Amino acid sequence: MAKISIVGSGSWGTAIAIMLAEMGHNIILWSYLESESQALNENKENIPFLPGVKIPDNVEYTSDISLCGDSDLIIMATPSHGMRNTAKALKPFVSEGQRILNISKGIEEESLLTMSQVIADELPMCDVSVMSGPSHAEEVSRKIPTTNVIASKSPETAEYIQDLIMNPNFRIYTNTDILGVELGGSVKNVIALCAGILDGMGLGDNTKAALMTRGLVEMTRLGVALGAKKETFSGLSGIGDLIVTCTSMNSRNRRAGILIGQGKTLEEAQKEVNMVVEGVRSCRAVKALADKAHVDMPIVNEAYKVLFEGESVTDALKNLMGRTKKNESEQDFLHINS
C-alpha cells in the first residue's frame, strides 16, 4: 500500500481520500485552514460537502503541508484560484521526480495556464499528470461506479497511477493528451452553467441537447487550435464530463445557472450554491484563450456577456438562435467561422 497525500479537503479531495483509504492506502488529507482539519478529525466526516459519508480511520488530517512532501503520490485537489500559492507552499518539501496528480479543473485567469501548467511552473522538478472525467464527488464517495481518464506525458507514470487507484468502482483509462483532458474539464463548466440557465428559464430537452452538442464543438475547436487532440474531446474528459455536468443536480455549475436563469444575479447564485463555481472563473479564462487564439466560441461569448456585462438571458438566447446560417459539417475545427 502507498502513502498518498491529498492537498485540498473540499468535496472532491475528500471523496478521493475516502476511496483510497478504503483501498488500504495510507492517506494524508491536507486542509488550508487548521479549523477545517480539526473538524474533519473530530467528525470523521466532511459535514459541509459530503454529509453522512464516514471517512476511514487510516486518514491523517493536517494543515501542515510539509507532511505531504514524502509521498508515493501527491494529489492536488485545491480550487484553481488557489493552485499556484499551494504549489509554492509545497515546493520546499518535494524532491526531484515526485509524482503529482492534479484533479482540479480550471484555468488560471492571470496567465491562462491550465492547472498542470501552473503546477509545473512552480514545481518543475516534479512529474505532473492529470485526472478528469464524469465524477461527482457525492457519487464517488458512495462507491457508485465511475470512470475517469489519467493523462501523462509518460505512459509509465500513467500506468503507475492507474494501478495505484483503480478499483472495482473506479475504472481508469490512460491518455497522453494532458492539454486536451484539462481543457475539456474546464470548458464543460461554462457549458454546464449555460445548461442550468436554460433549465432556469424553463426551456426543454431540445434546447439543452443543442447547447451540449454545439458546446462540444466549441470545446473541441478551442482544444485543437491550442494543440490538443480532437479525439480527446470524444472521450471521458470531453463529452463524458460535459454530459454529467450539464444534466446532474450534483453539478454546482448547473445549479448556479438555474438560479441565474430564474432571474437571480451572479452574486446571489454563487452565495446560494455556497461552493466554488468554477464555470464563472473558467468563462473569463476560456473567452480570453479563444480571443487570443482567434477561435470562434459563440456560446462562451454569450455566457460572458450574461455573467459580466449585464446581458439578459433572453437576449443571449436570441443572439445564438439568430446567428447567420451555417453548414454543420466541419472538416476540422480550425479556421471555421461557425
Neighbours of 95 (CB within 10 A): 9
CB-CB contact of 212 with 247 (8 Å): no
End-to-end alpha-carbon separation of the chain, Å?
51
Q: Taking CA 10 as the corner, what is the angle to CA 103 and CA 100, rounded to the nearest 5 degrees?
A: 30
Helices 278-293, 252-261: axis angle to 10 degrees equals: 90
CB-based contacts of 96, cutoff 8 Å, min separation 6: 125
The residue whose grid cell reads 470545446 is 219
β partners of residue 27: 4, 59
Question: Which residue is catalytic, options 44, 88, 188, 287?
Answer: 188
Q: Are 300 and 287 in contact (CB under 8 A)?
A: yes
230 is catalytic: no
Distance separating alpha carbons of residues 9 and 305, to the nearest angstrom: 33
Cα-based distances in Å from 215 to 19, 118, 160, 253: 32, 26, 33, 15
Give the orientation angle of helix 298-308 with respect to helix 178-200, to 10 degrees: 60
The residues annotated with a catalytic role in the active site are 188
